[in-house]
Copies of this chain bind each other. A is one copy, B any other.
Amino acid sequence: MENQYTIQKLSQKTGLSVHTLRYYERIGLLEGVPRDEHGYRLYRESDLLWVEFLMRLRGTGMPISEMKRFSDLRSEGDSTITERREMLEAHQAHIYEQMRVLRDHLRSIDDKIDHYKGMEKEQNQAVPPKVPSGK
């Protein structure tokens, strides 16, 4: 029941390309990925979970350099837990800020859409409909 994944399978499962998975390992985001007798990567369940967590950091805009720092702390063991928590809390604040910006700009864009709708209406009225007023 100990699931193992080839790089291909992990790529499918995560949506990252095999190139990106190897790249992440090369720069140290993934460490100690086990190999089979031919040197092929064999990812474990724990690797899948870690990659998924990395994707959440990336997907919320954390730069790779910061992910690397986090990853390095993780390799150092439990003594770095406080620092890791602080990193995540700082990142949390960034995410809140992103959401705020999105909300604000969304409002302006909504307004612009409404503005265009108004103009479209006017354009239609400019050529008055031929519908007879009575039956």
Q: How far is the CA of A10 from the CA of B26 in the complex (A)?
A: 43
Chain A, residues 91-115, CB within 8 Å of chain B (1/0): the string is 1100100110111011011101100
* CB closest chain-B residue, reference A119: B81
Say how many copies of this protein the assembly contains: 2
Instruction: Say whether, besides A85-B120, A95-B105, A102-B95, A112 and B53 are in contact (CB < 8 Å).
Output: yes
Q: In the complex, which residues of chain B have a beta carbon less than 8 angstroms from the beta carbon of A56?
A: 105, 108-109
Which bracket fits the contact residues of A? 20 to 34
Judge if A8 is at the interface, Cβ distance under 8 Å. Answer: no
Q: What CA separation (Å) do A72 and B106 show in the bound complex?
A: 22
Kindly provide the distance from the CB of A55 to the nearest chain B CB, expressed in whole angstroms.
8
Asked whether A116 lies within 8 Å of B60 as measured between CB atoms, the reply is no
Which residues of A are at the interface with B, using a C-beta cutoff of 8 A?
53, 56-57, 59-60, 78, 81-82, 84-85, 88-89, 91-92, 95, 98-99, 101-103, 105-106, 108-110, 112-113, 116-117, 119-120, 123
